[in-house]
Amino acid sequence: MHKQYHCISKDSVHYQVSPLTMSPAAGPKVLHVAGHSSCGFYNRITKCLSSVSLLFPNRLRVIEHEFDDRTMYRQWLVEDGFRNNFCDQEGKEHVACPIVWISNNPIDGDPDPADIEKYLGGHDATLDWCRDFMEPAPFAPIKPEPETVNDGHKADHGYDYDLVVIGGGSGGMAAAKEASILGAKVALCDFVKPSPQGTTWGLGGTCVNVGCIPKKLFHIGATLRESIHADANFFGISSVGVKPDDMMGQLPNMKTETHWNVIKDNIENYIRSLNFKYRVGLREKSVQYLNKLATLKDAHTVEVVDKKGNVSQITASRVLVAVGGRPTPLDCDGGNLAISSDDVFFLNQDPGKTLCVGASYISLECAGFLAGIGNDVTVAVRSILLRGFDRECSERIGDYMKEHGVKFKTQVTPSKLEKLEDDRIKVTFSDGTDDVYDTVLAAVGRTADTAKLGLESVNVVTNPKNRKIMTKFEQSSCPNIYAVGDVMEGCPELTPVAIQAGKALARRLFGGSKESMDYVNICTTVFTPIEYSCVGLSEEDAIAKHGEDGIEVYHREFLPLEWSLSQMRHDSNAFAKIVVDKKSADEKVIGMHYVGPNAGEIMQGYGVSMKNGLTYRQLVDTVGIHPTSSEELVTLSITKSSGADAAAGGC
C-alpha cells in the first residue's frame, strides 16, 4: 500500500474523562494519526500527540501511520478507499493531511478498518480534542449525605410547634427563620442570664452583643488611632496650624486622646439597633419570639420562665439547641474579681491598666484594642499563643504586639487576685511575682451554656470537659433534639458557621434537602493589632497529616504599600504563606495564611478557591491586582525548603 510505513505507540493519562476518552479502568484511549512526512500539519500534530502521551502514560496511546509523500497518502486514503470505513459523512469526504481517528484496540501495523471507533478529524479538530483532553475536570467536593436517626416527626404530631429553638444567637435565629420560610411553625426562646459581673444584653447572641461586632469596632478604632500616630504625618496630614520643620521638611507625629465612653456608647447604640432589627426579622418570618429562659423537661416539652418568674410549658416535635457558650471563669483565689469578654464592652469607665489572662484569640484581640486606644496592657500566657493556629504566624503576631507596647508575662498563671483599698486589683502570679492592675480580664476559654438546660433529663450526651453536645450531622443522642453553633462539639466557634449550619439543618428537617454542612476549609480571621487570616491546615497540621516530606511551603515577607512611607512601620512587615501537598497533581493547596492589614478581606475570596480544590499552579497563573497585599499570595515562589530569604523587594 505504501513504501514506508511505521508506527509509534505511547500511552497517556489525564485528569478528566471527556466524551471522547475512556476511564483508566477501561485502558488507554487509542488514537491513530495518518499523513505524509512532508506535511507540516502532520508533523505538528504528531509532535503534539506524542507530548500528550508522554505527560499521561496511562490514558492515551498514539499510533502513527506515516507515508513518504502526498501521492501515496492520497492513494491509500481516497483511491484505495480507507476513508469509506468511517461512519461520519465528514470522514467519508476527508482528503486533507493528516487524518485522525479513535480505535478500540492498540494494534500496531496497518490500520484495521474493523477496529475504528470514531472519526476525529484533521489537524485543527485534533488540537481541539487535545485541549479538551488536557482540561482538568471541575472539582466537585463530595459532601456525605447525612445519615441520621428517624426523629419521629409527623405532619400531624399534635404538639404546639414543629420546632422550638432554644437560643437567639446567629445559628438559632438563622435556623428558626429558615424553618418558618419552609412552612414550619416555629418558636424561639432567648433569655440572657447575667454574667457574674451582672452584665446583660439583647437578642442576637454573643457575636453581635459581646463578640465579633463590638470587638471589630473597637479594633477599627484602635487601628485608626495607630494609623494617625504612625502614618498621618508622613502623608502630609497634620493638626490645623502645624507646619513642617525647617530642617527636614517633615511633620511631627499627631497626638490623640481616646474617650472611652464615646466609643462605648456609640457601639452600644449601634448594637441596640441590631437587636431591634433581629426582633423585627423574626416577626416578619412569623417566628414566635419568647424572651424566656428555656429548660427541657422531656424530649418534646420545654419549660419557659419569663423575667418576672412566671412559668409555663410549650411542646414541639423537634427541638434545636443553639445556646452557644459563656466565658470560662478564672480558677484561682479571688478569680471572681476578674471580668470577661462578656463585660469589657459595657464598662462605664476606661479599663485603664489591664491584665488579659490567656493566650486565646479573644485575649489577644482584647489586649490589642485596649493597648491600641492607649492603655497599659499585659497578657499572661501559660504556654503558647493562639493554640491550634499556625505557629509561625502566631509568633509573628506576638512579636508585633510586643513591638507596639503590649507586655507579655510568659509561662505564668494568676494564683491570687486581691481587691485593694483604691479598688485596684493586686495579682500574684505562679512564678511568685505580682503587680497591680485597674482591670483583670479573663479569657481562658469558653464553656457551652448547657449546665442548667435539662439535657440529662432527655439523655443528650455532652462532652464533660466543655459541656458541648455530641452530635452526628447536628443530631444529638436524643433523635428529635438537634444542636448547631458553639454549643456543638467539633463545630468551629464562628458566627458564619453557625448561620450556615442552622440554615442547612432547617432545610433538611423541613425542606427535603439532603445537603449536609461542610465544616472543612473555613476561613477565619484574628483581629489582633496586626491581623491574621487563614484557611485550611496550619504548617504543623499539614506535616502531621502528610509528613514533612509530603508538603512544601511557599512564603514571603513584605512591606505593605500603605505602610511604606512611615518610618515607624519599617520593622512591621506583613507575611504570606501557602502550604501545598507536594505529592498531588499541580501541588494542591492545603493551607493559606496571611498576617497583615485587612486580613479578613483578603482571605475570603481564597476560601472560595480552596473549597474548589485550588492548586499552586492555578494560584500563580492568576494575575494579581497591583499594588495590593493580596497580590503577594498569587506571586509566591520562594520555598521554605530552599532556605532562600523570604523577604521581598519592590514591584
Reduced 3-state DSSP string for 264-295: HHHHHHHHHHHHHHHHHHHHHCCCEEECCEEE
DSSP assignment string, 601-621: HHHHHHHHHHHTT-BHHHHHT
Mean pLDDT to the nearest integer, 81-109: 88
Q: Is 90 exceeded by the pLDDT of residue 325?
A: yes
Q: Which architecture does CATH list for 531-642?
A: 2-Layer Sandwich (3.30)
CATH topology match: 161-327+447-510 vs 335-444: yes
Most confident of 13-22, 54-63, 342-351: 342-351
Q: What is the mean pLDDT of the chain?
A: 92
Q: Is 90 exceeded by the pLDDT of residue 291?
A: yes
**Of the residues 36, 157, 219, 626, which is catalytic?**
626
Least trusted range by pLDDT, from 251-255, 404-408, 553-557: 251-255
* Distances, alpha carbon 641 to alpha carbons 45, 552, 582, 592, in Å: 39, 7, 12, 17
Q: Is 70 exceeded by the pLDDT of residue 256?
A: yes
Mean pLDDT to the nearest integer, 320-346: 97
CATH top class, domain 335-444 = alpha beta
Domain spanning 24-134 has what CATH number?
A: 3.40.30
Q: Strand 439-442 relative to strand 60-67: parallel, antiparallel, unpaired?
A: unpaired
Give the residue extent of every domain in the chain: 24-134, 161-327+447-510, 335-444, 531-642
Q: Who's near 265: CB < 8 A, 6+ residues apart?
A: none
The per-residue pLDDT for 9 is 34
CA-based nearest residue to 500, from 521, 481, 479, 480:
521
Neighbours of 207 (CB within 10 A): 24
pLDDT digits (tens, 9 = 90+) for 296-322: 999 999 999 999 999 999 999 999 999
Q: Confirm whether 626 is a catalytic residue.
A: yes
pLDDT digits (tens, 9 = 90+) for 127-160: 998 888 877 766 666 667 888 999 999 999 999 9
Beta bridge partners of 469: 462, 488
Beta bridge partners of 429: 414
The per-residue pLDDT for 570 is 80
CA-based nearest residue to 527, from 363, 378, 325, 406:
363
Q: Is 80 exceeded by the pLDDT of residue 17?
A: no
To which CATH superfamily is domain 161-327+447-510 assigned? FAD/NAD(P)-binding domain (3.50.50.60)
Q: Measure the CA–CA gap between 313 and 301, rounded to whole angstroms.
A: 7
Q: Is 50 exceeded by the pLDDT of residue 568?
A: yes
The per-residue pLDDT for 6 is 38
The per-residue pLDDT for 29 is 81
